[in-house]
Amino acid sequence: MRNKDWVKDYPVHIILKPQKDELLSSWLTRTALEHGQTLSLFISSYIKHDGTALARTDIDFRYDEKLFKQLTFKSGLDIKTIRHMSLRSEEGYLFSCNDCLYPPQQIRKLVDKRTHHGLMFCPKCLAEDKVPYFRKQWRYRFYNACPKHKIFLVDRCGKCYERIRLTKITSEQSIVYCSRCGRDLRLTKPHKIPIKYFYGLEAINWFEDGLVNGYFTINSKKVLSLWVFQSYTRLQYLLDRRNKLVLDGYPMQEDYKQLCKKLNHYNSKKCGPIYKDFFLSSMVYHLFKNYPHNLVKFTKDNHLTHRDFLHGLKEAPFWYIQMIDKQIPMHNTVGREISEFEVIQAIRYLKNIGTNITQKSVAGIIGCHFSIHKGFVRIYKSICK
């Protein structure tokens, strides 16, 4: 059996300088191509013997101290620089993760057929780079457009629609070429963001500034960025109400609803999911912009309750819980006592006027919440078995 431990002592011949906010996979791929090798072959030859298996994982999210130390030893770069290229450097600011294997919701997965591919890019940024590279921001869920060039990010080749696969780029290519058809990604024609969508770019800048600073200023108070991003995913879920959404003062509400209709006819080669994330991120920003007015009005207009904001939410930040407790008081789950006679009479009334009998319609006649009032729920279910 061959001894493969010799790889750890084999030196890297060409050391490339990491660019600003460059992804670890981008830096490794550029280094591999300078050595005339693919990423997997380079890792096997210079870093560790099981390079093919390592290259198939999400290197940017993988937490591997041994790998970081090995890269530090091989490259001569300090370990702080190596760690900064990893998405794990944002732990505690963008997301919280306890030995999780897959990226949390604040970071896009590399492959997700339900939405769009995780590694996106700005063609104009790549074209302007003296040294083209892929940024960490292009993996963040809130980062769906380029504020500098005012265009939507792209998640695949504009010719063959192949996703960006750095591990598949051959030694004869550059990092800016499609791994399947070889087309220059810098030539991809992105969709321009119209002026009426600039509110969304304002939201991206706000989220990015908060992440860089480590805190957001909401209602004249500093709030840890991690707490806001943990709340972000829950608020996005509540905001994604499609045609039922009521969000007063949000300038792109009708555009969002039109997009939701189009997404019913899903086509994997279209950019609809990217646009939708763009809208939802700007909606979350809208809730915090005029805090607490926008949040409270959204809750009332969409008939949401305290339970909607917190039920089933794991590891909710204390700040978020306090915010919801203060701005959206919990309903009385007991309420006034409701008799069986009241429920029966309400059902008879609905029958007489020809209205469909549901738990919600009956509760509307009685004057209680259809799912929170425990006494009503118990009586209704016993009658309508």
Query: Tell me, what's the pLDDT at 7?
Result: 58
Q: Tell the burial category of 90 from Cβ atoms under 10 Å away from its Cβ (0-12, 13-18, 19+).
A: buried
d(CA 50, CA 31): 18
Joined together, the tokens standing for residue 367 give: 């004057």
pTM, rounded to two decimals: 0.83
d(CA 47, CA 335): 65
pLDDT tens-digit map of 109-160 = 887 655 567 799 999 999 999 999 999 999 999 999 999 999 999 998 989 9
Query: Tell me, what's the pLDDT at 80?
Result: 95
Query: Tell me, what's the pLDDT at 366?
Result: 84
Please count the other Cβ atoms lying within 10 Å of the Cβ belonging to residue 244: 9
Query: Tell me, what's the pLDDT at 127?
Result: 96
List CB contacts of 72: < 8 A, sequence separation 6 or more. 78, 79, 82
DSSP E strands in 165-301: the ranges are: 215-218, 221-224
pLDDT tens-digit map of 272-328 = 889 999 999 999 999 999 999 999 999 999 989 888 898 888 778 899 999 998 998
Regions in the chain scoring below 50 on pLDDT: 1, 268
Query: Tell me, what's the pLDDT at 3?
Result: 57
